[in-house]
Amino acid sequence: MRVALLDDYQNVALKMADWQRLQGRAEVDAIHEHIADIDRLAERLKPFAAVMMVRERTKFPRALFERLPNLRLLVTAAMWNVAIDLDAATAHKVQVCGTRDWSFATAELALGMMIALARHIPAEDRAMREGRWQTTLGTGLHGKTLGLLGLGSLGSQMARFGEVLGMKVLAWSQNLTAESAAEHGAVLVPKNELLAQADVVSIHLKLSERTRGLLGREELALMKPTAMLINTSRGPIIDEAALLAHLREGRIAGAALDVYDQEPLPADHPLRGFDNVIVLPHIGYVVEQNYRLVYGDTLEDIEAFLDGRVIRPLNTLG
């Protein structure tokens, strides 16, 4: 069996698990470049019976499954992936499996981005390197209001961070109850009220048809002009055109983004040009602890498949 590890941007995938355990059973190749073109991708993956995906870095639509007759196993980091057409995978008899993930990394990054945005850390770092001294006036977070869209595993961690900083924490999601919010130190409020009151809005929702475009022009217009927006979830939850318009017009103080509609973010994308926007290359989950867990579980998924077993399945083959 030939195994492809996709989108190994940092050239570390082969160091994150004991792939020697597959010696004599499978050959593992790490692919470092991101291949967006479906024709090139299909040609590159044609020899492989197993493919490992790192989150949604690469899309796996029906058209790709149709062009990979040798593919039998698809492993994705974590236990859900909106970039995979699971119905197509099942129809083409491709077993899809997931992995565990280290859930602390993204919330930690969201905290860091919030502080960096409030205290202008990137701008002051640049100024220091250019020989300047104290060029901005920061905003202290103690006593401010943190609004969390989503209070699941990551959102609840962010709620605890906000509490430690002395912030008032508001929360909203479509199925959140007041009791559940209170358990995590937050107050449940309607979405529009959260957007209007929060000094920092941080998104911790999964991307779905219900959340795609959740923050559009009307929703962003509810935010204070002094408010900041953090997104470590998925880019399409925010209407990108609406966000760009609000930033250009100074209707919000700034944004810190780790996720985008198109990834990798194009080199000429306008989001790269704002001084009040922190842009990071989707590194919320990119820490060694998570990589070792994800690639280690991928190895286990492959070994189980070779043994005629399925662990951590995301679909069921008849």
Write out the DSSP string of 214-234: -B-HHHHHTS-TT-EEEE-S-
Same fold: 2-102+287-306 with 104-279: yes
Residue 120 identity (one-letter amino acid): H
pLDDT score of 299: 98
Q: What is the pLDDT of residue 8?
A: 97
Q: Note the pLDDT of residue 27.
A: 98
Q: Collect the ranges in the chain with pLDDT lower than 70.
A: none
Tell the CATH topology of 2-102+287-306.
Rossmann fold (3.40.50)
Mean residue pLDDT across the chain: 97
The residues annotated as belonging to the active site are: 234, 263, 282
| Domain boundaries, given as residue ranges, for the chain | 2-102+287-306, 104-279
Beta strands in 23-142 (DSSP E): 27-30, 50-53, 73-76, 95-97
- Within 8 A by CB and 6+ apart from 108, the residues are none
pLDDT tens per residue, range 198-236: 999 999 999 999 999 999 999 999 999 999 999 999 999
Looking at residue 318, what is its pLDDT?
Answer: 77
Answer yes or no: are the C-beta atoms of 287 and 102 closer than 8 Å.
yes
Domain 104-279, second-level architecture = 3-Layer(aba) Sandwich (3.40)
